[in-house]
């Protein structure tokens, strides 16, 4: 039996699938992984992305932070791809119980997924740091002043609900992710190199015998997986779900 048909069989037999995904899920919607950076950034920015997207840099240099954020991390025109749609379909069929994602683009919800646990937050949610007022992505962008920093009518800076370097992950999202993964009868991991901690450590909570890894390249977890499929996450999942 080949890997693709084994995946299909396992999905048909499962009732509590959890998907754990990373940047590779969104690259198929043409959203680049900002960690996969090269020298190009140095022509435009004085600091590496990991420095700019940090809490201390946001505090000390909000203008440069928001310039990078707007130009390199926001893709408001991006659309869900085949992977997002297949996962939403599995949830609708009652088979998939949660999507745990490292992505911040909100594309799982755009595809129709309901129970999405966003480990690193979402660009779609923004709050005033002074009065806590909520702003959509579009409202945040249209609130940017001449210095490029988005401000509320109360003059407070509007901060994206995105987990920056130096900031901790949301405890509630973590505990719900641990609960989902530890109860899953099948865990599908895709589009992640499994190198970003603590998020990647969450898959250690899986206790079942059907851990599937779908990736274009090898990962440090390949040996622990029960099934490894090399390929496009969108193609593999849409074939497995028949959409
Ligand atoms: Zn405010």
Query: What pLDDT was estimated at residue 44?
Result: 80
pLDDT class of 43 with cuts at 50, 70, 90: low
Cis peptide before 60 (omega within 30 of 0): no
229 falls within a domain? yes
Tell me which residue range forms the domain holding 7: 1-31+79-120+169-243
**Other C-beta atoms lying within 10 Å of the C-beta of residue 125:** 17
When pLDDT is averaged across residues 88-96 and rounded to a whole number, the result is 97
Number of domains in the chain: 1
Q: How far is CA 119 from CA 3, 8, 82, 101, 208, in A?
A: 29, 27, 22, 6, 22
Name the residue with higher pLDDT: 241 or 157.
157
Query: Is residue 62 one of the residues assigned to a domain?
Result: no
Confirm whether 61 is domain-assigned.
Answer: no
The model's confidence at residue 39, banded by pLDDT at 50, 70 and 90, is: very low
Question: 226 pLDDT exceeds 50?
Answer: yes
Instruction: Indicate whether 89 belongs to any domain.
Output: yes
Helices (H), the chain: 3-13, 23-27, 40-44, 49-52, 55-60, 62-68, 82-92, 107-111, 137-141, 171-183, 233-241
Question: Quick check: 117 and 104 in contact, CB under 8 A?
Answer: no
Tell me whether residue 17 is in a domain: yes
Closest CA to 97 of 105, 87, 107, 106: 87
Read off the pTM. 0.93
Among 21-30, 176-185, 195-204, 234-243, the least confident range: 195-204
If you average pLDDT over every residue of the chain, what do you get?
Answer: 92
CA–CA gap between residue 75 and residue 87 (Å, rounded): 21
Residue 137 included in any domain: no
- Both tokens of residue 81? 């791809």
Q: Which residue has the higher pLDDT, 216 or 101?
A: 101
CA of 128 to the centre of ligand 1 (A): 5
**Is there a contact between 89 and 113 (Cβ–Cβ < 8 Å)?**
no
**Which residue has 């198929």 as its token pair?**
28
Domain-located, residue 41: no
Q: Rounded to the nearest whole angstrom, what is the distance from the C-alpha of residue 60 to the centroid of ligand 1?
A: 20
> In residues, how long is the chain?
243
- Cα separation of 131 and 49, whole Å? 29
198, part of any domain? yes
Q: Which of 84, 108, 120, 127 is catalytic?
A: 120
Confidence of residue 40 (pLDDT cuts 50, 70, 90): low
Ligand 1 centroid–CA 23 distance in Å is 32
CATH (domain of 10): 3.40.50.1220
User: What share of the chain has pLDDT > 70, as a percent?
Assistant: 95
Mean pLDDT to the nearest integer, 124-147: 97
To the query of whether residue 127 is one of the catalytic residues in this protein, the response is no
């Amino acid at each position: 039996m080949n890997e693709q048909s084994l995946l299909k069989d396992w999905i048909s037999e499962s009732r509590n699938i959890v998907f754990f995904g990373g940047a590779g899920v969104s690259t198929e919607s043409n959203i680049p992984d900002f960690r996969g950076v090269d020298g190009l950034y140095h022509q435009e920015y004085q600091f590496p992305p990991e420095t700019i997207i940090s809490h201390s840099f946001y505090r000390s240099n909000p203008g440069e932070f928001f310039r990078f954020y707007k130009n390199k991390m926001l893709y408001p025109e991006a659309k869900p791809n085949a992977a997002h749609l297949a996962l939403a379909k599995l949830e609708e069929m009652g088979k998939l119980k949660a999507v745990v994602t490292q992505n911040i683009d909100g594309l799982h919800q755009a595809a129709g997924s309901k129970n999405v646990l966003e480990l690193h937050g979402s660009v779609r949610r923004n709050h005033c740091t002074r009065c806590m007022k909520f702003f959509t992505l579009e409202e945040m962008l249209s609130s940017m002043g001449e210095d490029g920093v988005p401000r509320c009518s109360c003059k407070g800076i509007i901060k994206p609900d995105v987990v920056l370097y130096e900031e901790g992950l949301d405890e509630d999202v973590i505990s719900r992710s641990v609960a989902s993964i530890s109860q899953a009868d099948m865990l599908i991991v895709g589009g992640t190199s499994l190198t970003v901690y603590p998020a990647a450590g969450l898959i250690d909570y899986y206790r079942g015998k059907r851990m599937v890894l779908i990736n274009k390249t090898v990962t440090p977890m390949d040996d622990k997986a029960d099934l490894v499929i090399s390929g496009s996450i969108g193609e593999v999942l849409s074939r497995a779900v028949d959409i």
